[in-house]
Structure formats: structure tokens, C-alpha cells
């Protein structure tokens, strides 16, 4: 007997101009379990899809990138829904601009693509805290994410009550393009296997989706036993391998799901990259060979990623590399994908398209040409203000909190940026004296009376500095949040999490100044104010960075013909963040790489005067200038 996990046969109507209801069509997308396939409107169907996260590209560019994907022969696009993007503060929601999810789905349909939706609520995706809003840790410091924890369940249900009604009309059974909706995300890889939570989330998702889309889970082959949910389509994620390896992975799946379509929902044509390591590259030949083999098996495949994009602003996450190892993700999410960070095609794109064409009809769309890029500069950058100055504190801080011991970013209700921790050092007749911090999350720039002492680093296990005598008595520790861990989600709090000791004695009596740096308008206003009283023209930026993170400002003029994508090249600078015309491009760190350049979409530029603001933490080149290149630099 034919067994259907999800039956989506739905007849729907529209109201005619005379006010009468007229049946338009009957749509269905179902799992035909007995024949190991999908049926779309009663006909056998399989998808070759690509992941494109709407929040990693500007809204103005979505259509062109989706059309480029369709031109490759893809018939579906897969995207996560990022809870933190849409709900950055409790009871506050964002659905416009880069967060216009409904428009993204609409454009995908208009470009001939079905949609596979992955609402999480946990998404990983190398995003800050795996897409969870940071304020969950502020509101519930002891919350147990991804478990049957009452506080967590309450917030997920509240979020789904906002999200799901918004996409209801775009589900396939209701006339929209969404054919599949995910339940959780790679739960088999999570350290806690909470069956009550999985069943609860399955039921919650079903309550909203009903029979209008296929529900699915995804896991790596060896994690399938922990992630599997009876009654839900199980899919796998894996990269290229030999034919026997792929057969083995499918065989593992079949132990738990004996029948049903084979789906690789995350097929990796590339891989993610962290700072302080080589850019990850994947050869094209094994990618296309494994793709061909899976399609010969009538499997459905989704490339993760087909277009990677950019972790603009403070959205990049981090990974837990093992005991006492923290690895921050780079700003670029190029992923060595078939489409570049700028959305251009690559040789890998063309090779994949050729293989898809062996199994599916290719659309009559031209292959997009590589978009033009512009090169200009150098742009002179003048020092404007040191973060530790009273001037910057008055204009950029979001409050000063006093407490006996240091508080975390989350306890301070701060998502991003920096926190300045200050206290008074006791007088000790020793030279030098050890300063030790138990848990720095993630990077601390240490000063005494604005004299630079050194850097503590979670990434590199540096938690002790030697402080020479004679620098002063005011200890100033600027802590940088480099991105909350996105995989396995161990409640990754930021700031100074433990005791700070000086000569073995705990320091108390802390002032904490909040610098979230999430409002570029405030930064520009500070710049404009200080331009009336600038640093002397003979001043060099390097001398100011030694007294604290320093803002630099530069302007450049573009003609209409120069309004193309470009790449900010901060070679010679140290580490910091950059803003173009009020838009946070993300973090740069050319001292270690591998990413050097920051991608600048042409939509951020304008004819005439443009401005660049950089907040530099460590190092300034002799010329105090930057250039913009016409090519990316990700392998520095």
C-alpha cells in the first residue's frame, strides 16, 4: 500500500472580480515511500538545489543571483531563516531590507525556483550563536538551548507564532514555492539527544505547516541515529567521495529509513574557513564526479553552498575546535562555492551545470557574464578619535555599569562590539607583575593609563601578561567579541567570564563601558563633530592606536562609471572593522588572514562623495591609507 508521509494535495481558490470563487488548480508535493521518490503534482520529481542565504547578500542583488542559480540548471533554492536577524531584541521584529524573507521567496518563485526552507530554530550556518538571538542568554543565563527546557520552548513557540504565519501562503500546498520545511538542524551532531524536544518541535512545525509541505531532518551519515525522527523524511549531508563511500553513506541511512527518496541536503562543493588558517579549497573534479553518481541513483541534491556571500557586520560566528580551542569564522562566506562572494560564475559553476544538463533540461537562460569591478585609491585615512578617550566615550558608549566583578556582554545586554573593563591596580613593589584573566571571550587589548601592554587571546590560549612598573594605575581591558560559537552552542558568553588577578590577587571594583558599535550613524556623527577639532596634521595614526583602538576617516569620490563592485584592501593594517557609507562591511584581520580584502557591493557606493570609517585595534601602515582592488584577496 502506498504510504505517504506528507500528503499535500490541496485545491485552492481565488476570488474573481465578480466576487465568485473559482478553482484555479490542484497542487501536491508528496513523498512516495514505496517507490523511493517525490511526486510533484502527481508526477515523479527530484530536485537539484543550491543553498543561498538571503541574509548574506543585499536585497537589491537577490534576483540576479537567483537567476544565475536557475541558469545553472537548478530547480530549487534552499535557505535558512535566521532568528537573530528578524528578532534582534526581545519583542522587536525586522522584516525589511536584508531581512525581507517573503520577498526572497517571491523572487525565487518568479525566477523559476522552488524553495526548501530551513527555519531552525537553530541553523549553525557559521553565524553568530548559530542564528539564536543573543538576548536569550541575557534573559535566561541558564537556558538549555535545543532541549526540552521550559524557557527555551516558550521562546521558540513565540518565535514560530510570528514566523510561520508569515510564510503560510508561500507553502506549496497553499499555492507558493516552498516544497519542504526542516525540523531542527543536524540534531544528531548535538551533544544532547533530547527526544522530548525533537518530538515537541516536530509537532509545533506540523501545527503550522500541516499537509502543505514535506517535513525533513538532516544529519551526517554517522549522526543519523541521533537525529532521526520517525515519520519525518531523513536526509543526509556529505561532500564528494568514491562511489563505494557514497553507497555506504546511503546504506547507513537505509538502516533507519528503509524506503523513501535519497536526499543529500548539504552537498559540499567547498568548505568554511576560520581566521589564522588557510582558505579552504575543494577541487572541482571530485565534486562533479560525485554529483553525477548521485544523480544516476535518482537522488535529490542540494549544494551547500551554491552562493555563499558575506557575513556582514558582526554576524560571523565561530567554532569549537576542541578543549580550549576557539576558531572565529572569517567575514567572507565565499565557501569556494560555484558562485563567488560577488555572485560571479566560476569554472566549478560551469562544470556542475554540464553535469546537471545530463539529467535535467537546462533552462533557456544565458549564462551571466562576470560583473565588472572597479579599482581606485589610495584613500588617505586620518585618525579621528581613540575609543578610550572621554570624547569617544560620551558619543559612542551605551552606558557605564559598576560591579564588584566583571560582567559578560550578555549580562550587560550587549550583542556586539567591544566592552571596556576598568579598575584600579594596587601599588606593588614589583617589576614586572603578572596580570592573569581566567576566561577571556574572546580577545582582550590591555592598557594601563592608555599605555598598551599586550593582547590576551582565547584563540591562542594567551591569558597572562607581564605588566611593567611605571605605566600608571588605571587598568583598561578592551574585550572584543569575535563571534559566538555556532556549532553545538555551548551558551558562548562574551567578555571577562572569570577572575582577573594581579600578582595573584583578584581585582575587584570594575567599571564597564558598553561599545556595541552597531549604529554607524552615531559613529559618523562623532566623526563630523571631531572634524571641527581634528588631530594636528603632523599626527600619525600609529601613535594613537598605541593608546587604544582608534577611529580613522577617509573620503573618496566616484563617477557614475565607477559604480561597480570593489574590494577594500587593508593590507598593512592590523585588525578591526570597516564601515562604507554607514554600512558595516565586517571584520578585517590581514595580519593573520587568510582573508585580506572585504567585499564592497556596488549598491553601497554612490556617485560623488563616499566615506570610509575604520576602527583599528592594533596596527596602522606608514601611509595611513587603504586601496580598493578590482579583485578579491582571500588566500593571503
**Annotated active-site residue in 184, 266, 422, 459:** 266
User: Residue 456, preceding bond cis, omega within 30 degrees?
Assistant: no
Structural element, H or E, at residue 156:
helix 150-167
Residue with cell 565557501: 335
- Those residues whose C-beta lies under 8 Å from the C-beta of residue 285, and which sit 6 or more positions away, are none
Task: List the 625-629 sheet strands across, edge first.
Answer: 376-380, 625-629, 566-569, 598-600
At 261, list the grid cell. Answer: 527518496
DSSP per residue, 499-546: -EEETTEE---EEEEEE----HHHHHHHHHHHTTSPPPTT--HHHHHT
User: What cell does 399 get?
Assistant: 552606558
- Torsion sign (Cα): 605, 607, 613, 614: positive
**Kind plus residue range of the DSSP H or E element containing 110:** helix 101-110
Residue 120, C-alpha cell as written in the block:
531552525
If we measure between CA atoms, which residue out of 173, 154, 27, 35 comes closest to residue 90? 154
What is the CB neighbour count within 10 angstroms for residue 256? 14
Active site residue 616: no
Collapsed DSSP state (helix, strand, coil) of residue 617? coil
Q: Which of 82, 184, 186, 410 is catalytic?
A: 186
Dihedral sign for Cα atoms in the order 35, 39, 44, 49: negative
Give yes or no: 186 in active site. yes
User: Residue 182 is placed in which grid cell?
Assistant: 526542516
**Entry field: residues in the chain:** 636
- Compute the distance between CA of residue 449 and CA of residue 388 in angstroms, rounded to an integer: 10
Per DSSP, the three-state class of 606 is: coil
| Residues involved in catalysis | 186, 266
Amino acid at each position: 500500500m502506498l504510504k505517504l508521509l506528507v500528503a499535500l494535495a490541496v485545491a485552492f481558490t481565488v476570488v474573481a472580480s465578480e466576487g465568485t470563487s473559482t478553482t484555479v488548480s490542484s497542487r501536491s508535493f508528496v513523498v512516495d515511500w514505496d517507490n523511493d521518490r517525490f511526486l510533484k503534482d502527481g508526477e515523479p520529481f527530484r530536485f537539484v538545489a543550491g543553498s543561498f542565504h538571503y541574509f548574506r547578500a543585499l536585497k537589491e542583488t537577490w534576483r540576479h543571483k537567483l537567476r544565475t542559480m536557475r541558469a545553472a540548471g537548478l530547480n530549487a533554492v534552499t535557505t535558512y531563516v535566521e532568528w537573530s536577524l528578524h528578532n534582534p531584541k526581545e519583542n522587536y521584529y525586522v522584516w525589511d531590507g536584508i531581512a525581507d524573507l517573503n520577498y526572497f521567496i517571491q523572487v525565487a518563485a518568479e525566477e523559476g525556483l522552488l524553495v526548501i526552507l530551513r527555519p531552525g530554530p537553530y541553523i549553525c550556518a557559521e553565524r553568530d550563536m548559530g542564528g539564536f538571538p543573543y538576548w536569550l542568554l541575557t534573559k535566561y543565563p541558564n537556558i538549555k538551548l535545543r532541549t526540552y527546557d521550559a524557557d527555551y520552548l516558550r521562546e521558540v513557540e513565540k518565535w514560530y507564532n510570528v514566523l510561520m504565519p508569515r510564510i503560510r501562503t508561500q507553502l506549496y500546498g497553499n499555492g507558493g514555492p516552498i516544497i519542504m520545511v526542516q525540523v531542527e538542524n543536524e540534531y544528531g551532531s548535538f551533544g544532547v539527544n533530547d527526544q522530548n524536544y525533537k518530538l515537541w518541535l516536530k509537532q509545533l512545525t506540523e501545527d503550522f505547516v500541516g499537509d502543505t509541505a514535506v517535513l525533513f531532518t538532516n544529519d551526517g551519515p554517522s549522526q543519523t541515529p541521533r537525529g532521526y525522527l520517525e515519520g519525518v523524511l531523513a536526509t543526509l549531508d556529505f561532500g564528494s567521495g568514491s562511489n563505494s563511500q557514497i553507497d555506504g553513506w546511503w546504506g547507513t541511512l537505509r538502516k533507519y529509513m528503509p524506503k523513501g527518496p535519497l536526499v543529500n541536503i548539504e552537498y559540499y562543493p567547498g568548505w568554511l574557513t576560520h581566521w589564522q588558517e588557510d582558505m579552504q579549497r575543494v577541487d572541482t573534479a571530485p565534486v562533479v564526479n560525485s554529483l553525477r553518481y548521485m544523480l544516476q541513483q535518482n537522488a535529490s541534491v542540494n549544494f551547500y553552498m551554491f552562493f555563499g556571500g558575506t557575513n556582514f557586520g558582526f554576524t560571523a560566528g565561530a567554532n569549537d575546535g576542541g578543549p580550549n580551542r576557539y576558531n572565529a569564522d572569517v567575514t567572507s562566506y565565499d565557501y569556494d562555492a560555484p558562485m563567488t562572494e560577488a555572485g560571479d560564475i566560476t569554472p566549478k559553476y560551469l562544470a556542475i551545470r554540464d553535469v546537471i544538463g545530463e539529467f535535467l533540461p537546462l533552462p533557456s537562460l544565458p549564462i551571466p557574464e562576470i560583473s565588472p569591478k572597479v579599482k581606485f585609491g589610495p584613500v588617505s585615512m586620518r585618525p579621528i578619535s581613540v575609543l578610550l578617550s572621554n570624547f569617544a566615550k560620551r558619543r559612542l558608549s551605551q552606558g557605564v555599569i559598576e560591579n564588584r566583578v566583571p560582567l559578560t556582554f550578555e549580562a550587560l545586554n550587549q550583542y556586539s562590539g567591544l566592552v571596556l573593563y576598568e579598575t584600579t591596580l594596587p601599588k606593588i613593589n614589583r617589576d614586572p607583575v603578572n596580570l592573569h584573566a581566567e576566561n577571556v571571550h574572546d580577545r582582550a587589548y590591555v592598557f594601563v593609563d592608555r599605555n598598551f601592554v599586550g593582547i590576551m587571546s582565547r584563540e591562542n590560549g594567551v591569558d597572562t601578561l607581564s605588566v611593567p612598573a611605571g605605566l600608571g594605575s588605571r587598568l583598561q581591558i578592551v574585550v572584543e567579541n569575535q563571534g559566538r560559537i555556532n556549532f553545538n552552542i555551548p551558551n558562548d558568553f562574551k567578555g571577562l567570564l572569570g577572575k582577573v588577578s594581579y600578582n595573584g590577587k583578584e581585582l575587584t571594583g570594575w567599571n564597564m563601558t558598553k561599545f556595541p558599535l552597531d549604529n554607524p550613524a552615531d559613529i559618523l556623527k562623532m566623526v563630523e563633530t571631531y572634524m571641527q577639532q581634528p588631530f594636528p596634521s603632523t599626527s600619525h595614526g600609529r601613535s594613537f592606536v598605541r593608546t587604544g583602538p582608534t577611529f580613522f576617516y577617509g573620503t573618496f569620490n566616484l563617477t557614475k562609471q565607477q559604480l561597480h563592485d570593489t574590494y577594500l584592501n587593508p593590507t598593512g593594517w592590523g585588525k578591526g572593522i570597516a564601515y562604507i557609507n554607514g554600512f558595516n562591511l565586517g571584520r578585517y584581520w590581514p595580519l593573520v588572514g587568510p582573508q585580506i580584502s572585504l567585499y564592497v557591493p556596488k549598491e553601497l557606493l554612490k556617485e560623488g562623495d563616499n566615506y570610509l570609517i575604520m576602527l583599528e585595534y592594533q596596527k596602522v601602515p606608514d601611509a595611513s591609507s587603504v586601496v580598493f582592488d578590482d579583485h578579491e584577496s582571500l588566500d593571503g
